[in-house]
Amino acid sequence: MRRYGAAAAVSLALAVTVLGAGPVSAQGSDRLAIVGGYLIDGTEAPPVRDAVVLVEGERISHVGRVSDTEIPSGYRVVDAEGYTVMPGLSDSHVHLLLIGHGVYGEYFPRYHYEQNRMREFMEISAPQLLMAGVTSARDLAALTEDAVWIRDEIDAGRIVGPRLLVTGNFLQKTTPPGQAFVRTLVDGPEDAARKTRELIDTGVDMIKVIQLARMTREERMAIAEEAHAAGRQIVVHASTLEEVRAAAEMGARSIEHVGAGRKPLREAESIKLMADHGIFYSPTSIVSRIYDITTAYPERLDERQLSRDLPPDVFEDVRESIRWPGRLGYFEGAKDANRTHAAKIRQAYDGGVRLVIGTDSGTPMNFHWESTWQEMDLFVSYGIPPMKVISMATRHFADLVGMSDDLGTIEPGKLADIIVVDGNPLRHMSALDQRNVLYVFKGGVQYKPALASASN
């Protein structure tokens, strides 16, 4: 074991951690030293070997090397030698109320309308994300009071999960059967403005709008006016050029999903509009590419975590619902459209659009504990350099949500959202598979692995 000097050696001898299952609560000391790792700090600077990151309370106080850093006494030392230290990941598009079930027409009637279990499932999904190294996320669809509840419970420390920004219900013109509880319909500009204000009054962080082409311009702009007046960002679905134009006019902060169906590329004007208006792009490629991944490796559906995390009755139902992926109507259009993802995402990247990592996690076969690194891996396979992809999952998210002073990089003054992984994601994104995520710190608190006791 590497020697760090007398003070560090004493602290290291006293530090007792247990590499094992994720905790049901978090423990930690006020002062922490993560020592000896290979640091990818999120700024795209060259990685630092034999790095030291000091944490006081919830924030990073110092970043340096073993050779030039004296670790003060009283710090709990985490030995990161042989591992990679990097910012916690951020997922720009998750759905905590979803757990991978394959048939929405069965899932929502059974578990929302009949059994009222959405909050139960959100409490399962939230720690799945955090234990996979996702320390921040945007939840972009849930019953509004449930979305605000889970965010606030996590902030209060009563539920383990990533720090969340939530939209609650989203605004649109029509709704699929069985899903009205997470969708708010607008009818005219006055109605659109009123319902936007009602959402804002509940405490949501963002306003989500879909079906832009079905709304009148007056309805869209009424939503935008209320959202901007209250300091809320606007998140949209925008597949067509018409919808991208509308999103730009509304001042949308992000556009979700690959879009444009089977077209080989987006219209050049769409890319220019996103780049010129500073609209972030969250393609969520994995949400349909998971069909290809599962077809190539169906054994992934036998992942034991599914049975460990879900109540037995729910596990059996979820597993049965995805037993035959080729029969799922959810993926009918994806089977052909998946072929165009690489070109469209590279088109946006090469066109100067700021990409972020979003996964739509919770959708059919798209499990929270693996979706984020899988999306990152897809981006690398599309020809985007790994360091750039890491930025999309860290620094770009912080810029997207207006928290770049607090999140996204490992620098003094930032919140100590840090993960330690076994492997090098610059070589293989699978280093970010939850099995390789050894330590998770959020705001300086250690969530993974659980400490043996609060005194250690």
One-letter amino acid identity for 127? P
Instruction: Tell me which residue of 390, 89, 375 sits closest to 257, measured CA to CA.
Output: 375
Q: What pLDDT is stored for residue 456 in this prediction?
A: 38
Q: What pLDDT is stored for residue 30 in this prediction?
A: 85
**Torsion of the alpha carbons at 428, 432, 435 and 440, rounded to the nearest 10:** 150
| Spatial contact of 232 and 258, defined as CB atoms under 8 Å apart | no
User: Residue 370 and residue 88: Cα distance in Å, rounded?
Assistant: 14
Q: What pLDDT is stored for residue 15 in this prediction?
A: 33
**C-alpha to C-alpha distances, 321 to 121, 298, 327, 334, nearest whole angstrom:** 17, 14, 10, 18
Q: Please give the structure tokens belonging to residue 313.
A: 């009755």
φ, ψ (nearest 5 deg) of residue 236: -135, 155
| Spatial contact of 361 and 372, defined as CB atoms under 8 Å apart | yes
Q: What pLDDT is stored for residue 452 in this prediction?
A: 57
Q: Please give the structure tokens belonging to residue 11.
A: 């602290």
Q: What pLDDT is stored for residue 29 in this prediction?
A: 58
Q: What pLDDT is stored for residue 10 in this prediction?
A: 29
Q: What pLDDT is stored for residue 288 in this prediction?
A: 96
pTM of the model: 0.92
pLDDT tens per residue across all 456 residues of the chain: 222 332 333 233 323 232 333 333 445 558 999 999 999 999 999 999 999 999 999 999 999 999 999 999 999 999 999 999 999 999 999 999 999 999 999 999 999 999 999 999 999 999 999 999 999 999 999 999 999 999 999 999 999 999 999 999 999 999 888 899 999 999 999 999 999 999 999 999 999 999 999 999 999 999 999 999 999 999 999 999 999 999 999 999 999 999 877 889 999 999 999 999 999 999 999 999 999 999 999 999 999 999 999 999 999 999 999 999 999 999 998 888 899 999 999 999 999 999 999 999 999 999 999 999 999 999 999 999 999 999 999 999 999 999 999 999 999 999 999 999 999 999 999 999 999 999 999 999 999 998 754 433
